[in-house]
Chain A
Amino acid sequence: MSQANSPRAAGSQLPVASPSRRNRAPRHAMRWIGASLFGFWILVAIFGPMLAPHPVGALVGDDMFAGASAAFPLGTDYLGRDMLSRILTGARYTVGLALIAALLASSIGASLGILAALAPKWLDETVSRLNDALISIPSKMLALVMVSAFGASIPLLIITAVLSYAPGAFRISRSLAANLTTLEYVQVARTRGEGRLYIAWAELLPNMIHPVLADMGMRFVFIVLLLSGMSFLGLGVQPPIADLGSLVRENIGGLSEGALAVIAPAVAIGTLTIGANLLIDSLSASRGQQGD
């Protein structure tokens, strides 16, 4: 008699607005905050270098770790370079690398996941166990091993991020696809003599694309953090190029004096990941509402 005793039963009778309406306003706000933060960083990644007031490597300030001023709105770094220009230029590497890696990780993981769900049992088992082995390696450790073995380069960083995050995408899409394959329209397609590729592409993918996209957004955030962490350790993007993570590292000396040069790139990483998170959350929540 769970229905009779359920606590929300009483509330539903009161003459108040329905719960969905009450939640709608904050959810919209979250979506807008998320979308504007994320959109802002995408724009910075595209146009940032054009807007930078100073060349990225130019020693323009007299002071190291100078505070905000009219000439240098975000202060200067440990060599007296303009922080604003460095962030505007560096964001491209963080956002771009993570986007490419997330796209690759999700599309490789999702396609293998769907095909594994449709494959004969032995093949599915083999691929899934290999995948489990990969998933059990901590991503940071894998990245450290890769970098120490092959040296840090941009293609290697992308490969490392894909290797770390494609197995998770595989897991999720395989289980989504496995649920869908038991549905009757997929069975009908099979008894019609359709091939695996058609079933994967036309029958399965359109019905699982939303969770797969939400998953990709999450992987993007993870990869931003992984790459920033690698750069912070000095093993990521190498000088003279600097991404947001390396900006934090190279200015770590200013931490004791609370320099803007170390705070600004850290805040940049924070707003980028939080923005992406908020956007994904609000999008998947609104889909959940449509669903019921």
Chain B
Amino acid sequence: MLGEPIEVQDLLVTAVNSAGEEVEIVKRIGFSLAAGEVLALIGESGSGKTTIALSLLGYARRGCRISGGSVRLGATEVLKLPAKELRDLRGHRVAYIAQSAAASFNPAKTLMEQVIEAALIHKVMSREEAEAKAVGLFRELALPDPDSIGARYPHQVSGGQLQRLMAAMALITDPALVILDEPTTALDVTTQIEVLRAFKRVVRERGTTAIYVSHDLAVVAQMADRVLVLNGGEIQEQGEIDQILEHPAHPYTRSLLEAARPDQKLSPPPTTPGAELLRIDDLQVGYGARDADGVPAKVVLDHIQLNLARGRALGVIGESGSGKSTLARAVAGLIGPSRGAVQFDRRELTPTLKGRTPDQFRRIQMVFQSADNALNPSHSIERILTRPLDTYFELDGRERKRRVAELMDLVKLPQALLKRRPGELSGGQKQRVNLARALAAKPDLLLCDEVTSALDTVVGAAILELLVELRRELGVSYLFISHDISTVRALCDEVMVLFQGRCVEQGPCREVIQNPQHSYTQRLIGSVPELRRGWLESRPSFTDSLEALA
């Protein structure tokens, strides 16, 4: 079956808010897409992109309702279908690929059983035919051992493979329309590139019409023919991908494009390295029982060596599981190393929190990734900021108020927010409070663990800008942990590349990024999507596995 054209008119989706009022979350939008075309829905969280994608299935999330408009797939009016026909449509003519493949598979069933499930439910083919077809899809999607991978269970394959298996699951019934909802967002860049390649090939070869939902413009540039830029449930701009990338008409699109390239706008402030602040010698960290030599059952970090001078910023880059967060936790004292030493300002730090001096606690502050979990939801912003002041400094009431106000100014938040609780703040505001709390201690070293990763592109870029500014104004040093090369390049002087718990490359930031020596670093940097069409095709396909690099 070939793709079918889709036409959306006046689509209105409403939701009931906490006050019981009905609010519009998708505001009468319309677009049309020819058969076989790929349309990207681009926008930040809350822009309505997933809601629109789901309504193409005639589905609204809990608490939401499709209140008006029409969705025509070929000759079918999706929104007017009775429940039974809607069920026939879903997973058969329209298929959906969700962001987290890990959460979409049943861990107790084999992969093959789940991949062919839709075909059997809709009775479009026999089990044998479906299994043969699935094996063909596995091959097309470049999965290893296509003949036998179906017999495995979800936990026995990697995240990138699972995402491709989900694509096979969606394509088994030859749908006319495929909806891909942030399908590579949860993947590491080196994995993402292979998954994108596989998706692109199957969608193109089959001529399926596809909707690609993403917040990442660089990924969209590889996948889509046309783009719809959304904000607050309204279309800001739509057009061909080239036009959007080269000549964006709407200011919102321009701000998205700008935020996608933070390192072209920002650069680390010039500093002269001061005295040594942090020194790590031959560090080994792990979990589990230790053997006779004191080596833990699972070693997460090994042979880590680093020096950080006062006022400098060191970026630690690596993929999930590389041990980069563990490094920050070891310095903070949350996990005790099994070997090696951490020196702070020429004095050895105790391996865990026990035995550290109040002054050491003050001078090393940790800033965590998740804006939601980093702030106690039952404390007001004022209380959150006051607590470190009371812990480390003896201030009288007026002095304390002045300092809190100063901190709010420093992170560019209005004073009116002081009485609020974290739940009433936006993600970016929460991350600013998170930073302000760390700065309240007047620290020498900030341990930043993926502080921009959970934020929308534009908000993340603003936080990054703030971090650069704080470096310049306060001279604070950073150990900046990230998986994103462009944020590291915008903030850090030096970079350290971690791969499977070991440092594979270390040096001045610009040098390492422009001229990577280790093959893993080359691959990591080469896998970051660029904001231009044809980048994906221009990348060589890596045939060797990542494990071979270790």
Residues of A within 8 A of B (CB): 1-5, 8-13, 15, 18-21, 183-185, 187-188, 190-194, 202-203, 206-207, 290
Q: Which residue from chain B places its CB closest to the CB of A10 in the assembled complex? A: B83
Q: A13-B59, A194-B391 are in contact. List 4 more A-B contacts (CB 8 A).
A: A12-B60, A15-B65, A19-B62, A207-B378
- Contact between B374 and A4, CB atoms less than 8 A apart: no
- Contact between B391 and A192, CB atoms less than 8 A apart: yes
- Contact between B60 and A13, CB atoms less than 8 A apart: yes
Which stretch from B85-93, B152-160, B300-308, B541-549 is at the chain A interface?
B85-93
Contact of B52 with A by CB under 8 A? no
Q: List 10 A-B contacts (CB under 8 A).
A: A1-B91, A3-B59, A8-B62, A10-B83, A13-B59, A187-B366, A187-B368, A188-B437, A192-B441, A206-B379
The proximity string for B residues 349-385 relative to A, scoring 1 for CB distances below 8 Å and 0 otherwise, is: 0000100101001101110111001111111000000
- Contact between B376 and A12, CB atoms less than 8 A apart: no
A191 to B61, CA, bound (A): 40
Q: Which residue from chain A places its CB closest to the CB of B352 in the assembled complex? A: A190
- The listed residue (B65, B86, B117, B437) touching A9 by CB distance below 8 A is B86
- Contact between A193 and B391, CB atoms less than 8 A apart: yes
Smallest CB–CB gap between B155 and chain A, Å?
18
- Contact between B79 and A13, CB atoms less than 8 A apart: yes
- Contact between A4 and B361, CB atoms less than 8 A apart: no
A11 to B96, CA, bound (A): 19
A116 to B444, CA, bound (A): 34
- Contact between A5 and B91, CB atoms less than 8 A apart: yes
- The listed residue (B54, B65, B118, B375) touching A1 by CB distance below 8 A is B118
Residues of chain B within 8 A (CB-CB) of A183 are: 373
Smallest CB–CB gap between B36 and chain A, Å?
22
Smallest CB–CB gap between B165 and chain A, Å?
12
Contact of B540 with A by CB under 8 A? no
Contact of B497 with A by CB under 8 A? no
- Contact between A1 and B170, CB atoms less than 8 A apart: yes
Q: Which residue from chain B places its CB closest to the CB of A2 in the assembled complex? A: B104
A190 to B117, CA, bound (A): 48
Contact of B121 with A by CB under 8 A? yes
- Contact between A193 and B356, CB atoms less than 8 A apart: yes
- The listed residue (B60, B91, B353, B358) touching A4 by CB distance below 8 A is B91
| Residues A12 and B368 in contact in the complex (CB < 8 Å), given A5-B90, A187-B334 | no
Contact of B468 with A by CB under 8 A? no
A258 to B371, CA, bound (A): 64
Contact of B529 with A by CB under 8 A? no
Residues of chain A within 8 A (CB-CB) of B86 are: 9-10, 13
Contact of B134 with A by CB under 8 A? no
Residues of chain A within 8 A (CB-CB) of B364 are: 191
- Contact between B376 and A207, CB atoms less than 8 A apart: yes
Smallest CB–CB gap between B26 and chain A, Å?
14
Residues of chain A within 8 A (CB-CB) of B95 are: 1, 4
Contact of B333 with A by CB under 8 A? yes
Residues of chain B within 8 A (CB-CB) of A19 are: 62
Contact of B220 with A by CB under 8 A? no
Q: Which residue from chain A places its CB closest to the CB of B54 in the assembled complex? A: A3
Contact of B64 with A by CB under 8 A? yes
Q: How many residues of B contact A (CB 8 A)?
A: 56
Residues of chain B within 8 A (CB-CB) of A202 are: 376, 379, 387
A190 to B365, CA, bound (A): 11
A13 to B79, CA, bound (A): 8
Residues of chain A within 8 A (CB-CB) of B221 are: none
| Residues A190 and B66 in contact in the complex (CB < 8 Å), given A4-B90, A12-B60 | no
- The listed residue (A10, A187, A188) touching B87 by CB distance below 8 A is A10
- Contact between B358 and A193, CB atoms less than 8 A apart: yes
A5 to B173, CA, bound (A): 14
Smallest CB–CB gap between A1 and chain B, Å?
5
Contact of B25 with A by CB under 8 A? no
- Contact between A3 and B376, CB atoms less than 8 A apart: no
- Contact between B361 and A13, CB atoms less than 8 A apart: no
- The listed residue (A8, A18, A188) touching B65 by CB distance below 8 A is A18
A20 to B18, CA, bound (A): 11
**A9, A13, A187, A202: most-surrounded residue (chain B CB, <10 A):** A13
A132 to B391, CA, bound (A): 38
- The listed residue (A8, A191, A203, A207) touching B365 by CB distance below 8 A is A191
Q: Which residue from chain A places its CB closest to the CB of B82 in the assembled complex? A: A10
Smallest CB–CB gap between B270 and chain A, Å?
30
A11 to B58, CA, bound (A): 11
Smallest CB–CB gap between B3 and chain A, Å?
18
A290 to B388, CA, bound (A): 31
| Residues A184 and B373 in contact in the complex (CB < 8 Å), given A18-B16, A191-B353, A193-B356 | yes
Smallest CB–CB gap between B130 and chain A, Å?
14
A19 to B366, CA, bound (A): 43
- Contact between A206 and B58, CB atoms less than 8 A apart: no
**A1, A4, A18, A183: most-surrounded residue (chain B CB, <10 A):** A4
Residues of chain B within 8 A (CB-CB) of A206 are: 376, 378-379
- Contact between A203 and B58, CB atoms less than 8 A apart: no
- Contact between B96 and A1, CB atoms less than 8 A apart: yes
Contact of B169 with A by CB under 8 A? yes
Q: Which residue from chain A places its CB closest to the CB of B333 in the assembled complex? A: A191
Residues of chain B within 8 A (CB-CB) of A190 are: 334, 353
- Contact between A12 and B98, CB atoms less than 8 A apart: no
- Contact between A12 and B366, CB atoms less than 8 A apart: no
Contact of B176 with A by CB under 8 A? no
- The listed residue (A18, A185, A290) touching B374 by CB distance below 8 A is A185
Residues of chain B within 8 A (CB-CB) of A11 are: 83
Q: Which residue from chain B places its CB closest to the CB of A205 in the assembled complex? A: B378
Smallest CB–CB gap between A166 and chain B, Å?
25
Contact of B495 with A by CB under 8 A? no
A184 to B329, CA, bound (A): 11
Contact of B274 with A by CB under 8 A? no
- Contact between B118 and A191, CB atoms less than 8 A apart: no
Residues of chain A within 8 A (CB-CB) of B121 are: 5
Residues of chain B within 8 A (CB-CB) of A12 are: 59-62, 64-65
Residues of chain A within 8 A (CB-CB) of B353 are: 190-191, 193
Residues of chain A within 8 A (CB-CB) of B65 are: 12-13, 15, 18
Contact of B219 with A by CB under 8 A? no
A13 to B90, CA, bound (A): 14
Residues of chain B within 8 A (CB-CB) of A21 are: 16, 20
| Residues A18 and B59 in contact in the complex (CB < 8 Å), given A10-B83, A207-B377 | no
- Contact between B57 and A1, CB atoms less than 8 A apart: no
- Contact between B96 and A4, CB atoms less than 8 A apart: yes
Smallest CB–CB gap between A264 and chain B, Å?
43
A194 to B377, CA, bound (A): 18
Q: Which residue from chain A places its CB closest to the CB of B376 in the assembled complex? A: A185
Q: Which residue from chain A places its CB closest to the CB of B369 in the assembled complex? A: A184
Contact of B332 with A by CB under 8 A? yes
A285 to B63, CA, bound (A): 17
A170 to B65, CA, bound (A): 43
